[in-house]
Amino acid sequence: MELAKSQNLKILKYILIIFFGSILLTISSKIKIPFYPVPMTMQTFVVLFLGMSLGYKVGLATVSLYLFEGIIGLPVFSNSPEKGVGLVYFTGPTMGYLIGFLFATFLAGYFNFKKNILVNFVKLLVSVSVIYIFGIFWLGNLIGWDKPIIQLGVTPFLLAELFKISILALLAKNIFKLRKFI
């Protein structure tokens, strides 16, 4: 009886963590911070943070819930509802990046973050790069490979990404410690 109660509380804890993580990801997609050359959201920061702090299993569940919420029409994505909602928005130009969130969360959750800031930076760089790789492939297939895909879908965001992963690399050891509470 006590074991069942303990299991139920653990499941409830995971459900709440996943739910509040999806809310955090939604909030991070809505706040635009003035940055050069384009405004910056904190979405990729939160995607990596979720993987680092929750581990890959709970992190993936959190990002999956976020994507599901967007696909069914909740305005959780950046630029929604202004530029559409639901499956129509999801399958637009940003779909590759959104799918890349899953893989970036997995990698950030899989990696072990210790004291070496440079090693942590490289691990985060690899993790965030997956988002852009998926984004480029989807964008190229959607708008055509004859367009300057890298200049449209990567270059404007590089400075902001370097800024975000630098902050995460500095905080990685402490963020990684959050896992013991999960």
CATH number, domain with residue 141: 1.10.1760.20
Percent of the chain with pLDDT over 70: 99
What is the pLDDT averaged over residues 3-11? 88
Give yes or no for residue 1 having a pLDDT over 90: no
Total domains, the chain = 1
pLDDT digits (tens, 9 = 90+) for 40-59: 899 999 999 999 999 999 99
Residue 180: which pLDDT band, with cuts at 50, 70 and 90? Answer: confident
What is the pLDDT averaged over residues 96-113? 97
Cα–Cα distance between 53 and 177 in angstroms, integer?
A: 7
According to the model, what pLDDT value does residue 36 have? 76
Cα–Cα distance between 48 and 44 in angstroms, integer?
A: 6
| pTM assigned to the model | 0.94
According to the model, what pLDDT value does residue 50 have? 98
Q: Alpha helix locations (H) across 111-157?
A: 117-143, 149-153
Give yes or no for residue 77 having a pLDDT over 80: yes
- Residue 161 structural domain: 2-181
pLDDT digits (tens, 9 = 90+) for 109-147: 999 998 899 999 999 999 999 999 999 999 999 999 999
According to the model, what pLDDT value does residue 37 have? 74
What is the pLDDT averaged over residues 67-86? 94
Q: Which long-range contacts (CB under 8 A, 24 or more apart) does 19-25 make?
A: 19/65, 21/50, 21/54, 21/58, 21/59, 21/62, 21/65, 21/66, 22/62, 22/63, 22/65, 22/66, 22/69, 22/76, 24/50, 25/50, 25/62, 25/63, 25/66, 25/76
Q: Tokens 């992963």 — which residue?
A: 165
